[in-house]
Structure 1
Amino acid sequence: MPDVFTTRVLNVVSGSSESVVDLTRDCEAFLREAAAGRDGLLNLFVPHATAGIAVIETGAGSDDDLLAALHTLLPADDRWQHRHGSPGHGRDHVLPALVPPHATFPVLGGRLELGTWQSVCLVDTNVDNPHRQVRLSFLG
């Protein structure tokens, strides 16, 4: 049975435009304290109906490609039943079905185990709400 469960809320300002926010360094900083060299699992959860967590390469255009793909799959127009806020906001409420609001990662020796080009990111297409919370939880 695990010895440690630690959780913390990370406050993120995603801005007034659609964004992919890299949280990898925040996760690593949390694990330095919470995991303290132990093995376990890191879980991220976004308690919002219009944002999600993705594992993607950042800085080489993939984050912009993800937003472009989401525009293709979920156009910001008037087709959506859910209608309040910015035009096309209903699509933001469909986003978590494609980019889930949670992810769990292995932690070995207190370090996040990601592939060479993988980053942990918040995906936020809701321009009406630039303030997000992400709950980081370590179980080890």
Structure 2
Amino acid sequence: MHTDVLDLDTSRRTTVDLTDAVRDFCAGRGDGLCNVFVPHATAGIAVLETGAGSDHDFVDTLERLLPRDDRYRHRHGSPGHGADHVLPGLVSPSVTVPVADGEPLLGTWQSIVLVDLNRDNPRRSVRLSFVAG
């Protein structure tokens, strides 16, 4: 297995497109599977369209589903931080993508993105792992 860690700053954005980093990581590795994993209790990884507004629609939908208020039992951090801990139940902390000849087999409009609505922790790590097939 090959592995690498991306260190990211999410202080200015709620989604970070990881697609190019995943492509670079997979390049030259042949056939197999690439797992993208965020080891944080308040972030997730999604496969969705970016750049045409879908990513903003996705975040808007999550913010409607997970309002920032005092309804959560998990109460440390900023107001509504409990919502951040519910996010990984809706947006998985990992995705696995098939890879052929070093190229992730994503659809035409698919991108791999980190989703982070948590304003309390702007530093994130994402682990990329490749298992040859």
Q: Give the percent of matched residue pairs that are identical in Structure 1 and Structure 2.
A: 59
**What is the CA RMSD across the aligned residues, in angstroms?**
0.9
Q: Deviations over 1:24-72 (max 9, x none)?
A: 0000111125x1xx10000011100000000010011111101110011
**In structure 2, which of residues 54, 62, 87 is the aligned counterpart of residue 95 of structure 1?**
87
Moved over 6 A (4+): none
* TM-score (normalised: structure 2): 0.96
Aligned counterpart, 2:60: 68
SS in 1 for 2:27: helix
**In structure 2, which of residues 17, 23, 42 is the aligned counterpart of residue 28 of structure 1?**
23
8 A contact 1:6–1:137 mirrored in 2: yes
* TM-score (normalised: structure 1): 0.92
Distance (Å, rounded) in 2 between the aligned partners of 1:14 and 1:71: 16
> How far did 1:16 drift?
4.7
SS in 1 for 2:89: helix
> How far did 1:6 drift?
0.1
Gaps of 5+ in 2: none
